[in-house]
Chains A and B, each alone.
Chain A
Amino acid sequence: MALLEGKIAVVTGAARGIGQSIALKLAEEGADLALSDVQADWLSETKEKVEALGRRAEVYGVDVSKGDQVQAGVDQIQKDFGRIDIVVNNAGITRDGLLMRMSEEDWDLVMNINLKGTFLMTKAASRYMMKQRSGVFVNVASVIGLMGNPGQANYGASKAGVSNLTKTTAKELAARGIRANAVAPGFIKTKMTDALTDETRDAMLSVIPMKDFGLPEDVSNVVCFLASDMSRYVTGQTLSICGGMVTA
């Protein structure tokens, strides 16, 4: 039997990159998918690919930084699928710049989507999971949240927040059969990391012991593990996927 047979999984930021890769991996393992991104029409490619794997996919246009949209989206998912087993809080953005030049707007935008968005989704979905007495959160943090990085004050702080939010989520909900873990990807080849400067890119490669960048599949495989009963006794952890760059 596939690892996630019969499970209903929600993936935010599922239109492309790591989010799309996660959605496809979960579908491959038997889950049906509620796909979310800022605009529902961005999700048509991911939806087609999930359906090509023989799984159900529905799309939801949700800005995760807006509480009313998140609540309405999660309620609709519950209505459409009848339960929510897995939530992957993947939606995230970067607005890089040295902190001395970073605008308040760029700080707020990154914090609101990356950190507040994870909180809002967790709050809304945990209500249904508590009634089920089961559920799994997998939050996408970042090694930048563990080690900091010049030019990413907002992003790094938001992802450190995600790791910590994961710990509290795990501790508050463990008694209800709900687990929460995070993954901390290192340098993964996506459109988001393509936007980094060459300087940043070269600097990162020089500190990766495996001397290679990761692929979206390297992340989605670990997310799948954390979403499945294979990790039944694991909660509150942040697992780095970074070729050895961070070892604590």
Chain B
Amino acid sequence: MAIEEKVNEIIVEQLGVSADQIKAEASFIEDLGADSLDTVELVMAFEEEFGAEIPDEDAEKLTTVGGVIEYLKSKGIEA
């Protein structure tokens, strides 16, 4: 499964949104209805799924779907 699909799957599960709401530019808080605690949990879920540690200073910048995918790819993470 491509990394995009995996990320989307996690977002659907964590935020309880439908897959068609997810676009690269979608903001977790503004477009997908997440609160700040949801975004912390989302980052925890990415860490778990991809076996990566995401430092807090990086996590703060991960505000959109595309941003997360780009970030994970930049860390050499493949699905």
Residue numbers of A with Cβ under 8 A of B are 127, 130-131, 172-173, 175-176
Contacts and interface: CB of A to CB of B under 8 A. Distances in A.
A172 B37 contact: yes
Given A131-B44, A173-B37, 10 more contacts: A127-B44, A130-B37, A130-B40, A130-B41, A130-B44, A131-B41, A172-B37, A175-B35, A175-B37, A176-B37
Contacts of B44: 127, 130-131
Nearest to B45: A131
7 contacts: A130-B37, A130-B41, A130-B44, A172-B37, A173-B37, A175-B35, A175-B37
Contacts of B35: 175
Interface SS of chain B: helix
B78 to A, nearest CB: 25
Interface of B: 35, 37, 40-41, 44
Contacts of A173: 37
Contacts of A176: 37
A173 B36 CA distance: 11
A173 B41 CA distance: 12
Contacts of A127: 44
Contacts of B37: 130, 172-173, 175-176
A96 to B, nearest CB: 37
A223 B35 CA distance: 31
A176 B14 CA distance: 13
A248 B25 CA distance: 51
A172 B41 CA distance: 13
Nearest to A127: B44
A175 B38 CA distance: 10
A177 B44 CA distance: 18
A137 to B, nearest CB: 16
B26 to A, nearest CB: 22
B65 to A, nearest CB: 22
A172 B38 CA distance: 11
A20 B27 CA distance: 48
Contacts of A175: 35, 37
Contacts of B41: 130-131
Nearest to B44: A127
